Amino acid sequence: MGERAVSLSSLGLTARSGANPRITGIAVDNRQIRNGFLFAAMPGSRVHGATFIQYALEMGAAAILTDPAGARIAAAALAASDAALVVTDAPREALARTAAIWFGAQPATMVAVTGTNGKTSVSTFVRQIWMEMDLPAVNLGTTGVEGAWTAPLAHTTPEPITLHRTLAAAFAEGITHAAMEASSHGLDQRRLDGVTLTAAGFTNFTQDHLDYHASFDAYFDAKAGLFARVLPEDGVAVINIDDPRGIDMAAIAKARGCAVLTVGRDGGDLHLDAQRMDATGQDVRFSYRGKTYQTRLNLIGGFQADNVMLAAGLVIACGGEPARVFETLVHLKTVRGRMQLAATRDNGAAVFVDYAHTPDAIATALAAMRPHVMGRLVAIVGAGGDRDRAKRPLMGQAAADHADLVIVTDDNPRSEDPAAIRAAVLQGAPGAFEVGDRAEAILRGIDALGPGDALLIAGKGHETGQTVGDDVLPFDDVEQASVAVAALDGRLA
C-alpha cells in the first residue's frame, strides 16, 4: 500500500483545517501505521480507537478519521500535531467508502446474502452455479474465500480494509463474479457500504445475536440495511417470502426503487412445488414464470431446496439465463460443515455435521433430516459461551422436540463455565444426556446408532478449533466423527 500516494480529498474526505496531505495507506490498527497513512480511529465495543491516535501520529500518520467523541478523546495529541483531522458522525461508513476508493477494484458482478440462517449455503451455491456456467467466481464468508481463488478470512463479513483488499485481489486474479455473506454485525457497522452490488438476497429471520443487538427490532433493522442502504436502486432484491419478515424486506427494497424477485413455497416468482426425499438427497419440482422444471439435488434436508432456489434466483437476477441456471443444480455439492455427511457406520447409520447454532436452525435441520431417516434421529447440541444466553434453553428444546435422543455437550465455552452453559441448554431438554467432553459425546452418539438411524452433530460445522478460555484447541467434528466410526466398527485394527 505504501508504493503509491493519493490526496486525502481524492478519497472523498475533507479535513477540518482544509489540509490535503498525500495518503500512502489506510489502517484501523495503529501498529500497522507507516509514514503518510490515514488512521481510522473507530468507536469500539470496549475501547475507542481514538485512544491510539497518539501512537498513530508517532508512527507517521498523515491524517486521522474519527467521530466527534474520538476527536475529544485525542484532543491534546491532535493539537500538538499537523496531521489532517477528518471528523464525521458516520465514521464507519466513511471508512468503508474510503477503502473502496483506495483499493479501487472488485469483481464486476457481486451479490450479498443476509438472514439468520442459510447465508453460507446460499452464497456457496451461487458461486457453484456460476462456476458450472464457466464463470470465474468466488464466495466470501464464514468459510473464507472459496472457489476459483481462495484466501482465509477471520470474520464472516470482514472490516472494510480487509474486505476491499480481498475484493481487489480477487479482481486481479481474474474473478468476475463474487457472492458474499452479509452478517448483521457487518451491516450494522457499515462494512459493506462501499461494495457495489448487482443483487442481494434474504433467507430468513429468527433469534440470534441478541448479545450484540439491543433488541429483536434492532437485529432486524441491521439486516434490513442491506436493502434500505447498500443495494443500489438499480439492483435486484431476491426475497424468501415464506419467512414472515420476507414481506417487510420486499417492501423496504421496493421503497428504495429496487426490482424484487420473490422465492417461496406458498408463492413467489420462483416457486418450489414439490420434493421427494431419499437416503442420499431429493428430487425437486419447481416453476419459474409459468414454466415447470424438475431436477435432482444431491443434498440432505428439505430446507436446502429453499437455499438452492434463493441462490438460483440471485444468479438469474444477475443476468443468468434461467434454463441454463437450472441445468447446473444437479451438480451442487454440500457446503462444508452444512448438513455434511461425515461418516457412515457399517450398519448403514449416517453421521452428519451441521453449523446449526440457533434454536430455529437446530429445529430446521432435524426436521429436514427426518424424511431421509428410517430409524431414530440422534442429536448432539451445545451452545457457545459469551454469546446470546437467552437462546440456550430454546436450543435444547428444539433438539428435544425433533430428535429421539439428545446429548448435550460443550461447544465453544470461551470465558464461561462450560457446566453452566450445558445446564442452561438442559433446561430446554430435561431428558437429554449430559456429556461435557465433545469427543466423548460424539463417540457415545455414534455408538448409539443402529441400522437406519442418523446422528446430527450440531453447532460447529466447518470449524476446526474449540475455544476454551483464551485457548483454541484443535477440534474438527467431521474428523472426530470419522475416527469414532472407524474405532467402533473396527477399522483401526
Considering the domain architecture, whether residues 108 and 251 belong to the same structural domain is answered as: yes
Q: Is residue 33 part of a domain?
A: yes
Residue 62, pLDDT above cutoff 50: yes
Is residue 121 within 8 Å of residue 113, measured between CB atoms?
Answer: no
Q: Which CATH number is 482's domain given?
A: 3.90.190.20
Mean pLDDT of 99-118: 95
Considering the domain architecture, whether residues 148 and 284 belong to the same structural domain is answered as: yes
Considering the domain architecture, whether residues 144 and 274 belong to the same structural domain is answered as: yes
What local confidence, expressed as pLDDT, does residue 315 receive?
A: 98
Task: Return the C-alpha cell found at 102.
Answer: 483506495
**Single-letter code of the amino acid located at 115:** G
Considering the domain architecture, whether residues 276 and 234 belong to the same structural domain is answered as: yes
Residue 210, pLDDT above cutoff 80: no
What local confidence, expressed as pLDDT, does residue 157 receive?
A: 82
**Single-letter code of the amino acid located at 252:** I
Q: Which of 89, 124, 148 is the last residue of a domain?
A: 89
CA dist., res. 124 & res. 186, Å (int):
19
Residue 282, pLDDT above cutoff 50: yes
Considering the domain architecture, whether residues 82 and 123 belong to the same structural domain is answered as: no
CA dist., res. 135 & res. 147, Å (int):
11
**DSSP code string of 393-424:** HHHHHHHHHH-SEEEE--S--BTS-HHHHHHH
Q: Is residue 452 part of a domain?
A: yes
Mean pLDDT of 15-24: 95
The domain tally of the chain equals 3
Q: Is residue 456 part of a domain?
A: yes
Is residue 171 within 8 Å of residue 100, measured between CB atoms?
Answer: no
Considering the domain architecture, whether residues 72 and 122 belong to the same structural domain is answered as: no
What local confidence, expressed as pLDDT, does residue 1 receive?
A: 43
CA dist., res. 369 & res. 411, Å (int):
21
Mean pLDDT of 460-477: 95
Q: Which of 63, 89, 115 is the last residue of a domain?
A: 89
For the annotated binding site, the residues are 115-121, 156-157, 183, 189, 191, 387, 411-414, 459, 463
Residues spanned by the domain of 387 = 340-488
Residue 493, pLDDT above cutoff 60: no
Residue 443, pLDDT above cutoff 80: yes
CA dist., res. 322 & res. 319, Å (int):
9
Residue 166, pLDDT above cutoff 80: yes
What local confidence, expressed as pLDDT, does residue 209 receive?
A: 45
Mean pLDDT of 256-280: 94
Per-residue model confidence as pLDDT tens digits over 309-359:
999 999 999 999 999 999 999 999 998 898 999 999 999 999 999 999 989
Is residue 130 within 8 Å of residue 177, measured between CB atoms?
Answer: yes
For the annotated binding site for ATP, the residues are 115-121
Q: Is residue 94 part of a domain?
A: no
What local confidence, expressed as pLDDT, does residue 217 receive?
A: 81
Q: Is residue 74 part of a domain?
A: yes
Lowest mean pLDDT among 184-188, 443-447, 460-464: 184-188
Considering the domain architecture, whether residues 321 and 347 belong to the same structural domain is answered as: no
Q: Chain-wide mean pLDDT for the chain? A: 94
Mean pLDDT of 67-80: 96
CA atoms within 13 A on the CB side of 105: 12
Mean pLDDT of 265-287: 93
Q: Is residue 236 part of a domain?
A: yes
Q: Residue 154 — pLDDT band, cuts 50, 70, 90?
A: confident
Mean pLDDT of 280-295: 95
Residue 214, pLDDT above cutoff 70: no
Is residue 428 within 8 Å of residue 459, measured between CB atoms?
Answer: no
What local confidence, expressed as pLDDT, does residue 215 receive?
A: 75
Mean pLDDT of 402-412: 98
Mean pLDDT of 424-448: 98
For the annotated binding site for meso-2,6-diaminopimelate, the residues are 387, 411-414, 459, 463
Residue 216, pLDDT above cutoff 80: no
- pTM assigned to the model: 0.86
Closest by alpha carbon to 328, among 314, 340, 341? 314
End-to-end CA distance of the chain: 55
What local confidence, expressed as pLDDT, does residue 331 receive?
A: 98
Considering the domain architecture, whether residues 289 and 204 belong to the same structural domain is answered as: yes
Higher pLDDT, residue 244 or 417: 417
Q: Which CATH number is 130's domain given?
A: 3.40.1190.10
Q: Which CATH number is 48's domain given?
A: 3.40.1390.10
Residue 152, pLDDT above cutoff 60: yes
Per-residue model confidence as pLDDT tens digits over 302-316:
889 999 999 999 999
CA dist., res. 281 & res. 304, Å (int):
10
What local confidence, expressed as pLDDT, does residue 213 receive?
A: 42
What local confidence, expressed as pLDDT, does residue 435 receive?
A: 98
Q: Which of 89, 118, 133 is the last residue of a domain?
A: 89
* Polymer length in residues for the chain: 493
